[in-house]
Chain A
Amino acid sequence: MIELNYEHRQAGHCESGVTSNMLNYHKLSISEPMVFGIGAGLFFSYLPFLKMQHAPVTSFRVWPGMIFDRTTKVLGIKTKIYRFKNPIKSMNKLDEVLAQGLPVGLQVGTYHLPFFPPEYRMHYNMHNMVVYGKKNDRYLISDTVVEERVDISYEDLMRVRFAKGTFAPRGRMYYPLAVPSTVDLKPAIIKGIRKTANNMVGVPFPLIGTKGIRYLANQMRKWPEKLGEEKASYYLGQVLRMEEEIGTAGAGFRFIYGAFLDEAGIVLKQDWIREVALEMGEAANHWRKFSYLGSRNCKKRAKPEESYDMLGDMLMECAGKEEKIFRRLARIR
C-alpha cells in the first residue's frame, strides 16, 4: 500500500496540468500556464486529409507528449519515458516506480475511463493522468479534468493504457527523475516564446499557424455549397469541438497562453510582454465570440447575416490579430 503526498490540482489542459503537478511534487513550484508556455503548447493546424469522428482534424495545440518533453528538456530536468508491448510488464514497472516514491504520468485512452465525464467519452487516446498510489489493489489517480481524486481497478487501468486505435498509447509512462531545486526560468521562457512564434508565423506551409487559420477561413466559406447544409454544420461543429476542448472555455488554449505571457512579463521584467498579453486576451475573446456564433449555426438558430461568410471573416480577423502578436513576440531577446 503506497500513497504519496501528491497535491491534486485541477487544470485547464491535461498535459500541462500533469507536468506542472508532477514538478510541484518535486518541490519546483511552477504554474500550469508557465508549463504550457515553456513547452510551446500553442499551435494551429488544419488537416483536411485526416478525418477524426467523420470530419477533418483541426488542432489548437501541439502534438501530445511534446509539452512534457520540451518543458523538462529546456529546464534541464532528467526524465524517464517508457513504452511497452506487454501489458503485464508495464503494470509491474508501474508498481516498481511507485514503490520508489515517484508519481507516474500515463498516457491513456478515454473511451474506457470509468470516471471521465460521459459527454467527452469518445475514442481519444492522448489523455494524460497521474498515478500517485495504490490502495487495496486500486490505483489512486489524479486526473486534472476531474475535480476530486479518483481511483481505478487494475484491469481498467491496463485496458486504458493499452487502448487501441489511432495514436495508441502503448502503455506510455513518464516521470521526472531528478529535479534541480532552483531553475532559471528566463532563458526557458524566451526559448518557449520563440518556438511558439516560429510555429505560428514562421513555417512556410499553408496548413499551419496563422496561414492555417486563413486557409480554414477560406475553406469554411465554401462548405455550404460544397458539402450541403447538414455536413457543413457538422464540420463547423468539429472545429468548435476542438476549440472547446476541456477547460479552454472556447478559445482553443488562447486564454492559457495569455495568462502565461502575463506571468512571463513579470519574470522577465519586460513591460511590453504584458501589453502583448492583453492583446492575446482580446484575441482569445474574439475566438470565444466566434465559437458562440458558430454554435448558433450548429443549432440552426443563426440569423441570416451570421452565415459561414461572416464566420470566415471572423477567423480572418483572429488570424490577423495573432499574426501581429507573434510577429512582435518573435523579436524577443
Chain B
Amino acid sequence: METSAEITNTVYKNKDYGQYRELLYSYNENGNFEKTVGYHGEPDRVVLEQSWDLFNERTEEARQKVLSGKASPIVYYMEKILADPLGLSMMAGVSYWKVKLHFKPAFFKRLSNKTLAKYAEAFNISVDELKNFKQ
C-alpha cells in the first residue's frame, strides 16, 4: 500500500482528484497474486491529468472562438460537458448533421426556442443562459 505522503499529489492540478482508495491487484516476486487497497499510481495520474488538460484546453479554445464570433455557444457548452458532436446529438435528441450546422453562429441565431430548450436540457442550463453567452 502506498504511504500517506504520496496523497499530496504533484500531478493533478485539481485538488479533489486522487483522493479515493481503490482495490488493486498485483503480482509479487514470490509468485503470489495479492490484493491491496491503495491510491492509484503515478502512470494512472499522468494519463488522467493529460486527458483533463486536453478537455480544459478545448473548453478554453471554444470560449475564445465563441467570444470572437467564430462559433456558437453550443460548441463551448459541448466542450464543457466533455461531449463530442455525436454524443451531444444523442443527448439532445438533435440529428448529427443539424448539430454540426448549429455550431455556426448564423444557424444558431435562427434556432427556435424548442430546439434551444433541447440543447439547454442536455447542458443542464436555462435557455436564456444559452442565448446570452457571458463567460
A interface vs B, CB < 8 Å? 10-12, 33, 51, 53-54, 111, 117-120, 122-123, 144-147, 164-166, 168, 233-234, 237-238, 240-241, 244, 246-250, 255-256, 258-259, 262, 277-278, 281-282, 284-285, 291-292, 294-296, 298-299
The winner among B22, B40, B43, B81 for most chain A CB atoms within 10 A is: B43
Question: Can you spell out 16 A-B residue pairs with CB atoms less than 8 angstroms apart?
Answer: A12-B23, A118-B16, A119-B17, A119-B18, A123-B83, A144-B23, A145-B22, A164-B90, A234-B54, A237-B51, A240-B43, A244-B44, A244-B47, A292-B42, A295-B43, A299-B50
The winner among A168, A281, A282 for most chain B CB atoms within 10 A is: A281
Answer yes or no: B97 CB below 8 A from chain A CBs: no
Residues of B within 8 Å of A292, CB to CB, are 42-43
A61 to B20, CA, bound (A): 23
The winner among B31, B50, B86, B90 for most chain A CB atoms within 10 A is: B50
Binary contact readout B23-48 vs A (1 if CB under 8 angstroms, 0 otherwise): 11111000101010100111110111
Query: Is there an interface contact between A281 and B43, defined as CB atoms closer than 8 Å?
Result: no
Given the interface pairs A165-B87, A234-B50, the reply to whether A10 lies near B20 with Cβ below 8 Å is no
Checking A145, A247, A259 against B33 with a beta-carbon cut-off of 8 angstroms, the contacting residue is A259
Shortest distance from the beta carbon of A150 to any chain B beta carbon, whole Å: 11
Residues of B within 8 Å of A282, CB to CB, are 27
Closest-by-CB residue of A relative to B11 is A299
A51 to B23, CA, bound (A): 29
Closest-by-CB residue of B relative to A159 is B124
Closest-by-CB residue of B relative to A168 is B90
Residues of B within 8 Å of A12, CB to CB, are 22-25, 35
Query: Is there an interface contact between B33 and A295, defined as CB atoms closer than 8 Å?
Result: no
Query: Is there an interface contact between A164 and B41, defined as CB atoms closer than 8 Å?
Result: no
The winner among B12, B35, B87, B91 for most chain A CB atoms within 10 A is: B35
Residues of A within 8 Å of B31, CB to CB, are 278, 281
Shortest distance from the beta carbon of B113 to any chain A beta carbon, whole Å: 21
A12 to B25, CA, bound (A): 7
A255 to B86, CA, bound (A): 34
Shortest distance from the beta carbon of B41 to any chain A beta carbon, whole Å: 7
Given the interface pairs A240-B43, A250-B43, the reply to whether A262 lies near B51 with Cβ below 8 Å is no
Answer yes or no: B135 CB below 8 A from chain A CBs: no
Checking B26, B48, B90 against A119 with a beta-carbon cut-off of 8 angstroms, the contacting residue is B48
Answer yes or no: B126 CB below 8 A from chain A CBs: no
Could you say which interface size class chain B belongs to?
Answer: 35 or more
Residues of B within 8 Å of A249, CB to CB, are 24-26, 40-41
A303 to B93, CA, bound (A): 47
Residues of A within 8 Å of B125, CB to CB, are none
Query: Is there an interface contact between B33 and A255, defined as CB atoms closer than 8 Å?
Result: yes
Checking B44, B82, B90 against A250 with a beta-carbon cut-off of 8 angstroms, the contacting residue is B44
Query: Is there an interface contact between B54 and A10, defined as CB atoms closer than 8 Å?
Result: no
Answer yes or no: B112 CB below 8 A from chain A CBs: no
Shortest distance from the beta carbon of A239 to any chain B beta carbon, whole Å: 9
Shortest distance from the beta carbon of B9 to any chain A beta carbon, whole Å: 10
Checking A165, A278, A295 against B91 with a beta-carbon cut-off of 8 angstroms, the contacting residue is A165
Closest-by-CB residue of A relative to B27 is A281
Answer yes or no: B109 CB below 8 A from chain A CBs: no
The 4 closest A-B pairs by CB, nearest first: A281-B27, A295-B43, A255-B25, A259-B33
Residues of A within 8 Å of B134, CB to CB, are none
Residues of A within 8 Å of B37, CB to CB, are 10, 147
Residues of A within 8 Å of B81, CB to CB, are 111
Given the interface pairs A241-B48, A241-B51, the reply to whether A259 lies near B84 with Cβ below 8 Å is no
